């Protein structure tokens, strides 16, 4: 029988600083969406593999958490230089497994570097509190790590999303289990290897691969203290309920339906290029994608410019592939259904073929006008390079559409009026708001997180807000001098 050589070696779990070859674990094929070619395999691990990783993380915790934070961050300073050194290789890996353009993949690694820089500033951010609460009696509060924590990632940012959690959680003294998406398991291997090269002790970061079974095992494992999750709303709910019912902390980020409200006084060229980039960047597979535009009043000229901009976005050139054959079929079905329901397809990306990559999973940039709020394309997350345009007469009507959707990741307004912008900032029911910005991702140190069904749990996943998630407060009251026996309530 002919043995096929894979472009990348079969993925293995990474436990206590070593690749682990578990011959008994079933595997799944990994395809590059750029070409449809089989490039690797990934193990579908179960509870036993998880337990080995948790034991390694548990063993590493006492010594790792005992190192002063100013020393712990030195590893991440070194790691940052390794990310810069290997930028091209890391971006190539993201492109290969996820299907992004090289520029998009590189931007993802640049964002990982920014997240690492933020973690390096942690010693300045987590200084504790101290007060003489009574004569000679001192109280102090300091942030302590939780222990073993877990991070479960989606397919759409194989490098950046793991960096939402790894640097902050680990710098703060925790040890971690990372569970990448089984669709894009390659980047995680490289991240673990680079952290080892930077000096991270074995067992502090462990990588386990798999799908539903391993996620459920993470939610159930008694030695995991906190679970962060990024993925679809359906699974975010399941993970949040299961992890918290097992008395763990959990923050679970879900899907999105983000509305871009375009007013007639918006700058036409700037708005058109922003809207087109927002809906099509990373092939529309971003939880911050502006997949829905609401034109308020007469904006036909801006819509025409958006179509012109979208025509410049060409599959296989400046537009990458979507993740799978199934995703391509789902996205094209959304377009077909919207057209059948009476919407006007101004630019049609169905049946896109990239010469030389006929088996890749491509959908061309698509613009659909006169979508109505009752259509499925206006309600569900499409997760492809498709813009659905709705029309209203007033800003209040536009806001009513945005606020009626169950998600609440992002909303944006394009206008030259300060008061209209302010009105949207005040009234949009979403966690991240853009004014003349189509993808309003908060840069560090601001935190990332939506509202409503886009996030379950109290804290955001990055920035200052994440410090609270990854730590617990220890309060100590001390009294050493004899005279303080008086004037103290206890």
User: Which residue ranges make up the site for ligand NAD (CB under 6 A)?
Assistant: 152-156, 179, 181-182, 211-212, 215-216, 230-232, 235, 238, 253-256, 287, 381, 383, 409, 450, 454
Is the Cβ of residue 338 or residue 430 nearer to ligand NAD in the bound state? 430
> Cβ of residue 157: shortest distance to ligand NAD, in angstroms?
6
> Cβ of residue 427: shortest distance to ligand NAD, in angstroms?
22
Question: What is the rounded distance in angstroms from the CA atom of residue 333 to the CA atom of residue 331?
Answer: 5
Tracing tokens 């690492």 back to the chain, one arrives at 116
CA distances from 229 to 174, 178, 329, 346, 406 (A): 17, 10, 26, 37, 19
Q: Which DSSP string do the residues of 202-250 spell out, in sequence order?
A: TTSEEE---SHHHHHHHHH-TT--EEEEES-HHHHHHHHHHHHHTT-EE
Question: What is the rounded distance in angstroms from the CA atom of residue 424 to the CA atom of residue 260?
Answer: 11
Task: Note whether 12 and 21 are within 8 A (CB).
Answer: yes
All residues at 6 or more sequence positions from 132 whose CB lies less than 8 Å from its CB, including other chains: 138
Half-sphere exposure of 396 (CA within 13 A, CB side): 0
Is the Cβ of residue 17 or residue 255 nearer to ligand NAD in the bound state? 255
Is the Cβ of residue 291 or residue 415 nearer to ligand NAD in the bound state? 291
Is the Cβ of residue 243 or residue 395 nearer to ligand NAD in the bound state? 243
All residues at 6 or more sequence positions from 4 whose CB lies less than 8 Å from its CB, including other chains: 38
Is the Cβ of residue 72 or residue 328 nearer to ligand NAD in the bound state? 328
Question: What is the rounded distance in angstroms from the CA atom of residue 176 to the CA atom of residue 151?
Answer: 7
> Cβ of residue 256: shortest distance to ligand NAD, in angstroms?
5
Question: What is the rounded distance in angstroms from the CA atom of residue 209 to the CA atom of residue 45?
Answer: 6
> Cβ of residue 443: shortest distance to ligand NAD, in angstroms?
15
Helix (H) or strand (E) holding 309: helix 300-311
> Cβ of residue 122: shortest distance to ligand NAD, in angstroms?
21
Task: Note whether 382 and 371 are within 8 A (CB).
Answer: no
Question: What is the rounded distance in angstroms from the CA atom of residue 159 to the CA atom of residue 417?
Answer: 38
> Cβ of residue 231: shortest distance to ligand NAD, in angstroms?
3
DSSP bridge partners of 202 = none
Tokens linked to 484 = 């303080």
Question: What is the rounded distance in angstroms from the CA atom of residue 13 to the CA atom of residue 48?
Answer: 12
Query: Rg for the chain (alpha carbons), in Å?
Result: 24
> Cβ of residue 428: shortest distance to ligand NAD, in angstroms?
16
> Cβ of residue 117: shortest distance to ligand NAD, in angstroms?
20
Task: Note whether 243 and 216 are within 8 A (CB).
Answer: no
> In the complex, which residue's CB is closest to ligand NAD?
231
Cis peptide before 445 (omega within 30 of 0): yes
Is the Cβ of residue 383 or residue 414 nearer to ligand NAD in the bound state? 383
> Cβ of residue 226: shortest distance to ligand NAD, in angstroms?
17
Tokens linked to 205 = 């970061």
Strand-strand pairing, 432-435 and 455-456: unpaired
Task: Note whether 346 and 306 are within 8 A (CB).
Answer: no
DSSP bridge partners of 480 = none
Question: What is the rounded distance in angstroms from the CA atom of residue 122 to the CA atom of residue 159?
Answer: 21
Is the Cβ of residue 153 or residue 303 nearer to ligand NAD in the bound state? 153
The residues that are catalytic are 287
Is the Cβ of residue 284 or residue 295 nearer to ligand NAD in the bound state? 284
Is the Cβ of residue 302 or residue 382 nearer to ligand NAD in the bound state? 382
Helix (H) or strand (E) holding 413: strand 410-414
């Amino acid at each position: 029988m002919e043995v096929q050589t894979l472009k990348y070696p079969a993925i293995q779990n990474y436990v206590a600083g070593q690749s682990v070859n578990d011959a008994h674990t079933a595997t799944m094929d990994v395809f590059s969406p750029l070409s449809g070619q089989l490039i690797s395999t990934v193990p579908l691990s179960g509870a036993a593999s998880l337990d080995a990783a948790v034991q390694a993380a548990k063993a590493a915790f006492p010594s790792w958490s005992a190192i002063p934070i100013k020393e712990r961050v030195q590893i991440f300073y070194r790691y940052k230089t390794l990310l810069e050194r290997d930028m091209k290789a890391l971006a190539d890996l993201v492109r290969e497994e996820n299907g992004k353009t090289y520029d998009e993949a590189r931007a993802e690694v640049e964002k990982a570097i920014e997240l690492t820089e933020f973690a390096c500033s942690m010693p300045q951010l987590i200084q504790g509190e101290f007060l003489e609460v009574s004569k000679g009696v001192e109280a102090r509060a300091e942030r302590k790590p939780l222990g073993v924590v877990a991070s479960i990632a989606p397919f759409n940012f194989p490098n950046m999303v793991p960096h939402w959690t790894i640097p902050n959680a680990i710098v703060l003294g925790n040890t971690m289990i990372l569970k990448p998406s089984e669709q894009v398991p390659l980047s995680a291997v490289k991240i673990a290897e680079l952290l080892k090269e930077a000096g991270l002790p074995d067992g502090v970061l462990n990588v386990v691969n798999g799908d539903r079974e391993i996620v459920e095992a993470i939610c159930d494992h008694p030695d995991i203290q906190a679970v962060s999750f990024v993925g679809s709303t359906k699974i975010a709910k399941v993970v949040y309920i299961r992890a918290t019912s097992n008395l763990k902390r959990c923050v679970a980020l879900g899907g999105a339906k983000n509305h871009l409200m375009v007013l007639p006084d918006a700058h036409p060229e700037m708005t058109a290029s922003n809207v087109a980039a927002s809906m099509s960047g990373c092939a529309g597979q971003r939880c911050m994608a502006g997949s829905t535009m609401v034109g308020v009043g007469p904006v036909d000229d801006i819509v025409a410019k958006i179509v012109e901009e979208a025509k410049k976005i060409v599959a296989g050139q400046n537009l990458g592939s979507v993740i799978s054959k199934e995703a391509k079929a789902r996205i094209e079905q959304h377009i077909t259904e919207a057209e059948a329901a009476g919407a006007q397809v101004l630019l049609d990306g169905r049946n896109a073929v990239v010469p030389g990559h006929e088996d890749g999973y491509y959908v061309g940039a698509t613009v659909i006008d006169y979508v109505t709020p009752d259509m499925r394309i206006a309600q569900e997350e499409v997760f492809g390079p498709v813009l659905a345009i709705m029309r209203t007469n007033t800003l209040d009507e536009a806001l009513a559409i945005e606020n009626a959707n169950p998600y609440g990741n992002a909303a944006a307004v394009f206008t030259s009026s300060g008061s209209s912008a302010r009105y949207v900032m005040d009234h949009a029911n979403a966690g991240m708001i853009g004014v003349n910005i189509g993808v309003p991702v908060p840069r560090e140190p601001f935190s990332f997180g939506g509202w409503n069904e886009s996030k379950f749990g109290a804290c955001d996943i990055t920035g200052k807000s994440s410090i609270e998630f990854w730590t617990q407060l220890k309060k100590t009251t001390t009294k050493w001098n004899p005279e303080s026996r008086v004037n103290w309530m206890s």
